[in-house]
């Protein structure tokens, strides 16, 4: 019954989305200011009342639609928790022996469930806009909710017609197939929902842009209304990418934190677009500039989210993450992509001519710096997209190739560094116009620190490749530059969103330092060891004490005990990397063991025995690698501070207006 | 802003969608082909692996007559499946040489006793070095070598019964 109730909830939600779309369309159409004049007849009171009623109905419908979608998701989680094997999805992806956390996470660790999660978040986001948004003009808000309903409708159709998560299996099997063991990790329980909130949150920005294009209402008020939603989605994208990177780092056991895999790129591209959007929306909100460009970015950002979903779900590119390979579903999502992206860009082309040009500004100004930031982010985005899709292009010309990490690093690295330089300067430039000489004067401290770091690194380290070398020196200068906006200010009167910017920029510097340190100083040891033989890994001496079998809830493993000590007289500590065997489905995974110290991580992976009593061991000493994720978390915290600051100020303004 | 510039994003998106759609309906051939097809065989000289059968060197080819070069191993299951097809090819008059990958004399002798022996010569490639030089990425693979010592064709995977006539024709045409 639970599964049928879930399916019914989905159908009702889809019907409400249709209603929401129709009502919003009628509301926007009937309230067109020009329509009355065009038809030449004055509106009767009855007509006006009807229009007002229609418009008033859109918000509640959006809320109920979101609640129904959430209800369907909760019912799916319920059948997973109860291990109801008569539901096809549960039988294929779960197992009664699984720990409870993974039963719940299993609900979205598969194609149908993750798409249901997608529409659930979409519905909740729409409901949140309907409930919370107060500052946007009513017509634009109704158009926005209409656009949101149009997106939801497509994805409801996708779920109901080609990916029903509640399909039954008759007869029910005795037990399920189990969840892919790589996904049986606490990281999975949180990583996809976080990333999806980010992906789908961007849909709000998209709907805002579509709404604004329909009503031709693009200006600072619109930007101020859109900004918190963009910020919110961006915070979750940042968290999702950071968590995903750490998951890949410790779970896949190859010692890297980013591989430029198509699916990683799929999460990075919306982030890049959202980051650009976040900055351009500031220009629109503060200075009423970059109107068309901001609309464009909002469309591009959500397009990247959908392309990301498409790349992951269609199996069109070879990837370690390609869980579901199914061309029918791929074509369905492709059709949705064509309708939404194509439709939005068509609307853009048709309407952008009627969007008035915003304010202009000098080249040396905050706006100028933000434009350079936007351009560089767009170039990186375009390159990532091009490199990710290039194997398909090449296949068209009959050659097979794949574009690997070194290629990406070589092209993206330098642009990212240039972006870092702009990030250091931007906050120190005034809006509208500024004097280049004065700006340079403000930059003396960071420039000096960067130069000093560069000289010190060359003198001390030596032999570091140029990209990590510049990266590390720049990161140190950036850290100084990012706190400069607080210099000489009354810290208690500085608005919270300025602190947010400082923390987020500092986070980028910290993360960059981690990446550069990992690239420059990592020491790798790959050895076949006998029990009792010590090996060196960076400053550590590591000895294999022995191998013993261990048993977990749904796996068995060979576990090595490694004793490690730093230097000759450090305290001994133990690491226990495992080679884990899962019976359902049959898979072997390697569980790395990581020792975290304040200045880096010792990363150990147990490999195969060689048959003569020796075991393969991979040992890495990665100085300061943790800074990568610590920096990512700082960026998200900065975003949260900024969001809080914006909301507080908006509220204060509203309260002041209410009393005025 | 120029009028046509406004349409650029729309056009780019359409192009992207067309590309991705095309990639979806025509799934890529993910076989890894050798870069040496159409070129001369690389230089190699492998010792024999079973008594009474010569080893294999580049010099054995380029004698005016096309030959098949089969890359196989006794530990490879598809190689057992393709053995009858190789015997058929031999009956049709095709001369076949082989490179045994990471194998032992006893295992190869056993493999030939069980599955038949279509080979004129078998080279012992203990370290896969010749296999790598050929640009072969797995077993079994079969190369058609022209009479002038050039690689005419690379067949990846086991030879199916229905593919035998095609291979015979390829050998005949590879003068």
**Residue of chain B whose Cα is closest to the Cα of A297:** B9
In this structure, is residue A438 part of a structural domain? no
Token code pair at residue A421? 């330089």
Contacts of residue A339, defined as CB under 8 A and 6 or more positions apart, other chains included, come to A154
Label residue A38 by pLDDT band (50, 70, 90). low
Q: What kind and span of H or E run contains A534? A: strand A534-537
For residue A585, is it within any domain?
A: yes
pLDDT at A323 over 50: no
- In this model, does residue A564 exceed pLDDT 80? yes
A360 within domain boundaries:
no
Q: Residue A37's pLDDT is what?
A: 54
Both A617 and A651 in one domain: the answer is no
Q: Using CA atoms, how far apart are residues B95 and A573, in angstroms rounded to an integer? A: 64
What burial letters (b/e) apply to A537-559, b meaning 16+ CB within 10 Å?
A: bbbbbbbbeeeeeeeeebbebbb
Question: Which of A300, A334, A352 lies nearest to residue B6, judging by beta carbons?
Answer: A352
A143: CB partners within 8 A, 6+ apart: A24, A28, A210, A211, A212, A214, A215
**Residue that wins the pLDDT comparison between A223 and A568:** A223
Dihedrals phi, psi of B32, to nearest 5 degrees: -90, 110
Q: Which chain A residues have a beta carbon less than 8 Å from that of B32?
A: 400
Residue range(s) defining the domain that contains residue A513: 443-521+628-659
pTM for the structure as a whole:
0.84
Quick one: average pLDDT of B32-52? Answer: 86
Q: Which residue has the tokens 């147990």?
A: A606
The SS3 call for residue B27 is coil
- End-to-end Cα distance, chain B: 63
CB atoms within 10 A of CB A226: 27
Helix (H, G, I), strand (E, B) or coil at A371: helix
Token duo for residue A4: 């049928």
Residue in chain A closest to B23 (alpha carbons) equals A392
In terms of domains, do A423 and A492 share one? no
Identify the closest residue of chain A to B20 by CA–CA distance. Answer: A392
Helices marked H in chain B: 8-25, 77-91, 105-115, 129-134, 164-173
Q: What are the residue boundaries of the structural domains of chain B, listed by start?
A: 45-173
Residues A499 and A565 in one domain: no
A422 in Cβ contact with A364 (< 8 Å): no
The number of folded domains in chain A is 4
Across the interface, of A338, A345, A392, the residue whose CB is closest to B9 is A345
C-beta separation of A543 from A535 below 8 A: yes
Q: Please check whether residues A311 and A427 belong to one and the same domain.
A: yes
CA atoms of A11 and A347, how far apart (whole Å): 29
Could you give phi then psi for residue A389, rounded to 5 degrees? -90, -10
3-state secondary structure of A415: helix
The CATH code of domain B45-173 reads: 3.40.30.10
Per-residue confidence at A355, pLDDT binned at 50, 70, 90? confident
Judged by DSSP in three states, B119 sits in strand
The mean pLDDT of A369-384, rounded to a whole number, is: 94
Confidence class of residue A643 from pLDDT cuts 50, 70 and 90?
very high
- Which ranges constitute the DSSP H helices of A163-261? 186-215, 220-251
In angstroms, the Cα distances linking A333 to A155, A345, A477 are 8, 18, 44
Q: Nearest chain A Cα to B1, which residue?
A: A353
Q: Is A530 in the same domain as A396?
A: no
Shared domain for A555 and A639, answered yes or no, is no
pLDDT over 60 at A461, yes or no: yes
Residue A336 in domain: yes
Q: Identify whether B72 is preceded by a cis peptide bond (ω within 30 of 0).
A: no
Q: What is the CA radius of gyration of chain A?
A: 27
State yes or no: pLDDT of A121 exceeds 90: yes
| Chain A nearest CA to B4, separation (Å) | 9
B140 in Cβ contact with B70 (< 8 Å): yes
**Any idea what DSSP says for residue B148?**
T
Among A residues 272-301, those touching chain B with beta carbons less than 8 Å apart: 292, 296, 299-300
Is A437 within the bounds of a domain? no
Say what the pLDDT of residue A236 is: 95
Cβ atoms of residues B144 and B94 within 8 Å: no
DSSP A338: I
Does the N-terminal peptide bond of residue B140 adopt cis geometry, omega within 30 degrees of 0? yes
Write the ipTM: 0.76
Q: Do B13 and A352 touch (CB under 8 A)?
A: no
The answer to whether the Cβ–Cβ distance between B21 and A327 falls below 8 Å is no
pLDDT of residue B97: 93
- Phi, psi at residue A573, to the nearest 5°? -130, 165
Size of interface A-B (CB pairs under 8 A): 69
Helices (DSSP H) in A315-443: which residue ranges?
A: 327-337, 343-351, 366-396, 405-425, 436-442
In tens, the pLDDT along B74-112 reads: 988 899 999 999 999 999 989 999 999 999 999 999 999
Cα–Cα distance, A211 to A215 (Å, whole number): 6
Query: A320 by DSSP, 3-state: which?
Result: coil
Confidence of residue A322 (pLDDT cuts 50, 70, 90): very low
Q: Identify whether residues A155 and A18 lie together within a single domain.
A: yes
Do A267 and A149 lie in a common domain? no
- A502 with A423, same domain? no
pLDDT digits (tens, 9 = 90+) for A47-73: 888 888 888 899 999 999 999 999 999
Q: Residue A432 has what pLDDT?
A: 85
Enumerate the residues of chain B whose CB falls inside 8 A of the CB of residue A330: 24
Tokens of A20: 């929401």
Contact A392 B28 (CB under 8 A): yes
Residue A207 lies in a domain: no
Q: What is the pLDDT of residue B139?
A: 87
Over residues B138-172, the pLDDT tens digits come to 889 999 998 888 898 899 889 999 989 989 998 88
Q: What pLDDT band is residue A35 in, cutting at 50, 70 and 90?
A: low
Paired strand residues for A237: none
Least CB–CB distance from B10: residue in A330, A337, A349: A349
Cα A169 from Cα A89, distance rounded (Å) = 9
A361 falls within a domain: no
Q: Is the pLDDT of residue A319 over 60?
A: no
Distance CA(A515)–CA(A472), nearest Å, equals 8
A596 and A646 inside one domain: no
Q: Is residue A436 one of the residues assigned to a domain?
A: no
Closest CA–CA distance from residue A380 to any residue of chain B (Å): 17
Q: Is A611 found in the same domain as A462?
A: no
- Considering only the beta carbons, identify the residue of A299, A307, A353 that sits closest to B6: A353
Residues A29 and A162 in one domain: yes
Q: Is A401 on the interface with B (CB under 8 A)?
A: no
Select from B6, B19, B28 the Cβ nearest to the Cβ of A389.
B19
Residue B31: is its pLDDT beyond 70?
A: no
């Amino acid at each position: 019954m639970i599964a049928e109730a879930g399916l019914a909830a989905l159908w009702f939600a889809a019907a409400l989305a249709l209603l929401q779309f129709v009502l919003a369309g009628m509301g926007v159409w009937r309230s067109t200011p020009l329509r009355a004049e065009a038809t030449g007849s004055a509106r009767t009171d009855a007509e006006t009342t009807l229009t007002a009623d229609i418009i008033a109905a859109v918000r509640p419908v959006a809320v109920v639609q979101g609640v129904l979608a959430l209800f369907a998701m909760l019912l799916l989680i319920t059948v997973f928790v109860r291990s109801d094997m008569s539901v096809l999805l549960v039988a294929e992806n779960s197992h009664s022996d699984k720990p409870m956390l993974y039963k719940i996470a299993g609900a979205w660790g598969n194609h149908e469930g993750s798409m249901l999660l997608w529409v659930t978040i979409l519905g909740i986001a729409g409901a949140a806009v309907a409930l919370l948004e107060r500052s946007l003009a009513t017509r634009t808000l109704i158009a926005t909710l209409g656009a949101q309903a149009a997106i939801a409708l497509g994805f409801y159709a996708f779920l109901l017609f080609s990916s029903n998560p509640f399909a039954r299996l008759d007869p029910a099997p005795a037990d399920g197939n189990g969840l892919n063991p790589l996904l049986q990790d606490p990281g999975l329980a949180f990583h996809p929902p976080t990333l999806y909130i980010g992906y789908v949150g961007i849909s709000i920005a998209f709907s805002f842009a579509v709404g604004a294009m329909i009503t031709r209402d693009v200006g600072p008020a619109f930007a101020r209304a859109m900004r918190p939603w963009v910020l919110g989605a961006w915070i979750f994208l940042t968290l999702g990418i950071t968590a995903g990177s750490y998951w890949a780092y410790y779970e896949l056991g190859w010692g890297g934190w980013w591989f430029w895999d198509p699916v990683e790129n799929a999460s990075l591209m919306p982030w890049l677009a959202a980051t650009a959007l976040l900055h351009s929306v500031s220009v629109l909100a503060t200075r009423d500039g970059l109107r068309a460009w901001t609309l464009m970015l909002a469309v591009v950002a959500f397009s990247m989210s959908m392309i990301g979903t498409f790349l992951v779900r269609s199996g069109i590119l070879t990837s370690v993450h390609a869980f579901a390979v199914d061309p029918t579903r791929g074509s369905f999502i492709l059709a949705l992509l064509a309708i939404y992206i194509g439709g939005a860009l068509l609307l853009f082309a048709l309407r952008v001519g009627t969007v008035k040009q915003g304010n202009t500004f000098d080249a040396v100004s905050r706006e100028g710096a933000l434009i350079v930031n936007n351009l560089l982010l767009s170039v990186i985005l375009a390159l990532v997209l091009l490199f990710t899709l290039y194997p398909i292009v090449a296949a068209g010309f009959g050659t097979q190739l794949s574009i690997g990490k070194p290629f990406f690093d070589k092209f993206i690295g330098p642009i990212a560094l240039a972006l870092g330089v702009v990030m250091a300067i931007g906050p120190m430039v005034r809006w509208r116009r500024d004097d280049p000489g004065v700006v340079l004067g403000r930059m003396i401290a960071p420039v000096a620190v960067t130069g000093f770091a560069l000289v010190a690194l060359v003198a001390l380290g030596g032999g570091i490749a140029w990209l990590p070398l510049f990266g590390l020196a720049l990161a140190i200068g950036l850290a100084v530059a990012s706190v400069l906006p607080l210099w000489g200010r009354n810290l208690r009167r500085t608005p919270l969103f300025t602190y947010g910017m400082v923390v987020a920029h500092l986070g980028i510097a910290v993360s960059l330092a981690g990446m550069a340190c990992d690239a420059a100083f990592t020491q790798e040891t790959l050895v076949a060891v006998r029990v009792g033989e010590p090996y060196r890994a960076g400053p550590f001496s590591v000895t294999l004490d022995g191998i013993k079998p261990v048993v977990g809830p749904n796996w068995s493993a060979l576990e090595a005990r490694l004793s490690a000590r730093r230097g000759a007289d450090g305290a001994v500590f133990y690491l226990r990397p495992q080679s884990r065997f899962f019976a359902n489905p049959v898979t072997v995974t390697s569980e790395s063991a990581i020792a975290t110290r304040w200045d880096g991580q010792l990363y150990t992976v147990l490999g195969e025995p060689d048959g003569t009593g020796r075991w393969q061991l991979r040992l890495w000493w990665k100085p300061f690698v943790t800074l990568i994720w610590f920096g990512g978390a700082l960026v998200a915290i900065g975003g949260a501070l900024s969001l809080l600051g914006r909301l507080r100020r908006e509220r204060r303004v509203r309260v002041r207006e209410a009393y005025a | 802003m120029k009028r046509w510039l406004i349409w650029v994003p729309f056009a780019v998106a359409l192009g992207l969608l067309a590309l991705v759609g095309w990639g979806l309906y025509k799934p890529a051939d993910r076989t890894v082909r050798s870069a040496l097809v159409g070129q001369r065989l690389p230089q190699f000289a492998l010792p024999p692996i079973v008594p009474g059968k010569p080893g294999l060197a580049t010099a054995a080819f380029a004698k005016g007559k096309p030959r098949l070069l089969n890359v196989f191993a006794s530990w490879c299951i598809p190689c057992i499946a393709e053995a009858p097809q190789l015997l058929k090819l031999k009956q049709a008059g095709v001369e076949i040489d082989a490179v045994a990958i990471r194998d032992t004399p006893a295992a190869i002798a056993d493999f030939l006793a069980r599955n038949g022996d279509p080979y004129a010569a078998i080279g012992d490639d203990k370290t896969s070095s010749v296999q790598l030089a050929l640009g072969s990425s797995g077993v079994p693979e079969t190369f058609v070598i022209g009479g002038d010592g050039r690689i005419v064709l690379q067949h990846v995977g086991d030879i199916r019964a229905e593919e035998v006539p095609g291979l015979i024709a390829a050998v005949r045409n590879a003068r």
